[in-house]
Structure 1
Amino acid sequence: MRRFAAVSGGTVGSEETRATYARFGRRLAADAYRVRVIDAPDLDAEDLTASLTGFAARLADAVEGTAAEDGVVRPLVLVGADSGTAAVAALLGRAETPGGQPDAVVLAGLPGQASGTTATVGTWEQELDVRTSCPAHRGTLTQDPQVRRGSLDDAIPDAVLTAAHDSGAAVPALLLIGDADPLADHEALARTAKSLLETLRNELRPLITVRSSAW
């Protein structure tokens, strides 16, 4: 079966670029996914509706033409990272989405309300320590001249995070977060996960449960 993944990337205020996710995209492509990577949107708290509408239009443009039959390969999976995750999650709460709803989403690193970090990031190495512990990811960020350094203090608007955590998306969702992520609100994420928990039609019994692991 042909599958499609649209990857929306960008950490909290980090100004990461699509190059950051090229390795991830190649790995998905190796598993027969057709992958498109777009930059995370600029989210305007004063006009969140317009910001999300523009983001939805960009997603629709990205997926269009991936299949000859109906224009879009199914299933369609959206993968968000950090600020991209907040945008995807907020978008799912809208009644109508240009291009239609995805079949599933992966929400990685959904930030908490206090999305700016209070950690010391005076040097690039300190900023990398907050961003990631993955050597490959650190190397990609360091080598990308378009990454804006020193931007981790930039916070995602509260209106966006509220919309993301309260989205109540009606599609299967996989939420991923690091247990030591200083930008995450683990309690809020647990509440969000509970609200998104897939259920069986038979008496609405949980199909999956949510647990954390130190592996």
Structure 2
Amino acid sequence: MILAGLPGRAPAATPSAATWDDELDVRTSCPSHRGTLTLDPEVRRGSLDHAIPDGVLAAAYASEADLPVLLLVGDADPPADHEALARTAKSLARARLSVVHGGHHDVLNDLQHRSVAAEVIAFLETLRNDLRPLVTVRSSAW
């Protein structure tokens, strides 16, 4: 299972996006994705202020599913509850929490989307290899 941009339980903790530009700032810093969101008539503006149903969040945060989980979150994602994500990752037997530096709420479509895609691919390849990573950094000067 891959969960990306999972919000916290309390939307009130997120600064309200007063304008569309404010909401875009919370979502992404990628100019292409900002344009796509702006031009898409199906995007519900102001939806970041809406609470996610408790059942959906409970399924994510209190899951006892015995399957590998990749949690992706941006470190610049105000709707995310980073502490709850860390607790969830620690509570699951086969979970990985990956934090995208400079990543916003739409972490799959932010400026770092190629690195996020690489993380997803590495996760999928690790699944195919019985949860043993195919690449391990043995030494690095950076």
**Could you say which TM-score interval applies, normalised by the shorter chain?**
0.5 to 0.7
1:133 to 1:147, Cα distance in 2 relative to 1, 3 A? same
Query: Kindly tell me: are residues 157 and 116 of structure 1, through their superposed partners in 2, closer, same or farther at Cα, counting changes over 3 Å?
Result: farther
**Aligned positions, number:** 102
Q: Would you identify which runs of 4 or more consecutive aligned residues in structure 1 move more than 4 Å?
A: 208-213
* Greater length-normalized contact order (CA 8 Å, ≥ 6 residues apart): 2
TM-score (structure 2 length as normaliser): 0.62
Cα root mean square deviation, aligned: 2.3
Indicate which of 58, 75, 85 corresponds to 1:162.
58
Residues 50-89 of structure 1, C-alpha deviations (whole Å, 9 max, x = no match): xxxxxxxxxxxxxxxxxxxxxxxxxxxxxxxxxxxxxxxx
- 1:147 alignment partner, one of 43, 51, 64: 43
- Which sections of structure 1, spanning at least 5 residues, go unmatched? 1-104, 199-207
Q: 5+ unaligned residues in a row in structure 2: which ranges? A: 103-142
* Higher gyration radius (CA): 1
After superposition, the Cα gap between the structure-2 partners of 1:125 and 1:212, relative to the gap in structure 1 and judged at 3 Å, is closer
TM-score (norm 1): 0.42
Q: Would the alpha carbon gap of residues 117 and 152 (structure 1) be closer, same or farther in structure 2, given more than 3 Å must change?
A: farther
Residue 86 of structure 1 corresponds to: none
Superposed, 1:67-82 pairs within 5 Å as: none
Matches within 5 A, 1:102-113: 105-113=1-9
Shift of the alpha carbon at 1:150? 1.8
Q: Identity across aligned pairs (percent)?
A: 65
